[in-house]
Chain A
Amino acid sequence: MPYSVPDGFFDQLENRVMSEIQQETKPKKGRIVKMTFGALTAAAAAVALFFVVHKSLPENVTTDESFSLVELAYNDLSSEDQEYLLQVYEEDLFINEENNNEEE
């Protein structure tokens, strides 16, 4: 061929194409919001489930049984929801205040 290319041209070409492709395959912002909303909904449902299970327990259920039921419900959650639930629990002022009062 009477033609030539600059040094390193093909590697640069590959990098440019890949970078363009990666831009195209990046999740769109709207999608992130949608996913976050979905995750938040799931987490909110998990928190609600926690309190519903806790409140709806018959009075004759012992504390040990109550905890095992909550534990069962907790284990049914996805790891993301579990993590979120723990985070909410740790940051929740009222729950922490209640615990602090009990400890006192």
Chain B
Amino acid sequence: MTNDKDIIAAIRKDPEQGFRLLLRQYREPLYWHIRRLVVSHDDAEDATQEAFIRMFRNFDQYGEGNSFKAWLYRIATNEALRLLGRRQGCETLPLDEVTEGMMETACDAYFSDGDALVARLQRAILHLPAKQQLAFNLRYYDELSYAEIAAVSGSSEASAKTNYHLAKEKIIQYMNSNE
């Protein structure tokens, strides 16, 4: 496992080789992050590819001292929102304007509700408002700190914490009510 500092140094030394390290490290977590937001595999594939290319083009805009992980997740999240926005006929979609229906479980070839509990958890997450969903996913699946979640969602740390806890409560309620 390569740490972020090594990846940054490698990209500065040799952009192509360094970027391959970044891809190896982040291709799966960022794909799954986007997939959880856009649901369909094809959309997630397009958005992930585009997100990585944007990361490469804008690498010099990464601010030294900030969380690299948060920077990557922010680009990936924006790309997912852009894709959801295009579905609605606009360039991008502010997080506040993402509604539940836009992120409903898509029944594509790569969705399976074989594991009923996991599928139910995913449905519970998809019923959350976008900000809570994002905070929950980033904390629960990607283990980002509240500061990093705040950087990704463009909110305060306190707000990220609140969104996560509200999300958790609602998920517990949803899971219990569907037993």
Nearest opposing residue in chain A for B39, CB measure: A3
**Residues of A within 8 A of B (CB-CB), count:** 18
Q: A43-57: which residues lie under 8 A (CB-CB) from chain B?
A: none
Contact segment of A19-27, A31-39, A65-73, A76-84 = A19-27
Contact between B122 and A14, CB atoms less than 8 A apart: no
Chain A positions within 8 Å of B112 at CB level: 2-4
Residue among B23, B39, B119 making CB contact with A17, cutoff 8 Å: B23
**Chain B residues within an 8 Å CB radius of A2:** 105, 111-115, 118-119, 122
Looking across the interface, which residue of chain B has its beta carbon closest to that of A2? Answer: B119
Size class of the B contact interface (CB-based, 8 Å):
20 to 34
Contact with A along B109-151 (1 / 0, CB 8 A): 0111111001100100000000000000000000000000000
Chain A's nearest CB lies how many Å from the CB of B16? 6
User: For the complex, is A1 an interface residue (Cβ under 8 Å from B)?
Assistant: yes
A1 adjacent to B122 (CB under 8 Å): yes
Q: Which of A5-13, A86-94, A96-104 contacts B (4 or more CB under 8 A)?
A: A5-13
Contact check, A20 vs B118: say whether CB atoms are below 8 A apart: no
The answer to the question of B45 belonging to the interface, with a C-beta cut-off of 8 Å to chain A, is yes
Bound CA span A91–B105, Å: 71
User: In residues 1-52 of chain B, which contact A (Cβ within 8 Å)?
Assistant: 15-16, 19-20, 23-24, 27-28, 31-32, 35-36, 39, 41, 45, 48-49, 52
B41 touches which of A3, A10, A22, A25 (Cβ 8 Å):
A3
Q: What's the dominant secondary structure at chain A's contact region?
A: helix
- Decide: A25 near B16, CB < 8 A? Known: A2-B115, A13-B48: yes
Measured between C-beta atoms, what is the minimum distance from B156 to chain A in Å? 29
Is the CB–CB distance between B41 and A5 below 8 Å?
Answer: yes
A18 is an interface residue with CB less than 8 A from chain B: yes
B residues at A contact (CB < 8 Å): 15-16, 19-20, 23-24, 27-28, 31-32, 35-36, 39, 41, 45, 48-49, 52-53, 56-57, 105, 110-115, 118-119, 122
21 contacts between A and B (CB under 8 A): A1-B36, A1-B118, A2-B112, A2-B113, A2-B115, A3-B39, A3-B41, A4-B112, A13-B27, A13-B49, A14-B23, A16-B49, A17-B23, A18-B16, A20-B49, A21-B15, A21-B16, A21-B19, A24-B57, A25-B15, A25-B16
